[in-house]
Amino acid sequence: MRFIRVAAAGDIPVGGRGIVFVDGNTIALFNVEGTVHALDDSCPHQGSSLAAGKLDGAIVTCRAHGLRFDVRTGRMPGIDGLCAKVKAVEVTVGEIRVGVDGQS
């Protein structure tokens, strides 16, 4: 896996979120208590933007149909069901990098 710089660490404040584009994919970034997490920005139900949803702690609620996902795991809290696709994240030397498949 290779990592691509997508933002400066300060671009996503604690409790904040952002959208970045990596290798043709839209990725939602969420800063939960100082740790940045990344998900595909497309809700697995019908594709609505997860970054546009309500963030409450580590749980993002899809604005389209109210499905909830833990941004740390991509899983729906308390039930097995649809999962949002989690992306690997590194925060080093003041920059946020997201993992992509393939080689550099």
pLDDT tens, residue by residue, 29-60: 999 999 999 999 999 999 999 999 999 999 99
Phi–psi pair at 9, nearest 5 degrees: -55, -35
Residues 2-100: name the CATH superfamily.
Answer: Rieske [2Fe-2S] iron-sulphur domain (2.102.10.10)
Q: Give the model's pLDDT for residue 102.
A: 61
pTM of the predicted model, to two decimals? 0.92
Please report where in the chains the tokens 């963030």 appear, as a residue: 55
Amino acid at the residue 103: Q
pLDDT tens, residue by residue, 14-25: 999 999 999 889
- If pLDDT is split at 50, 70 and 90, which confidence band does 78 have? confident
For the chain, give every domain's residue range: 2-100
Q: Give the model's pLDDT for residue 104.
A: 44
| Model confidence at 88: pLDDT above 60 | yes
CB atoms closer than 10 angstroms to residue 69: 26
Q: Structure tokens of 21?
A: 């584009």
Are the C-beta atoms of residues 70 and 84 closer than 8 Å to each other? no
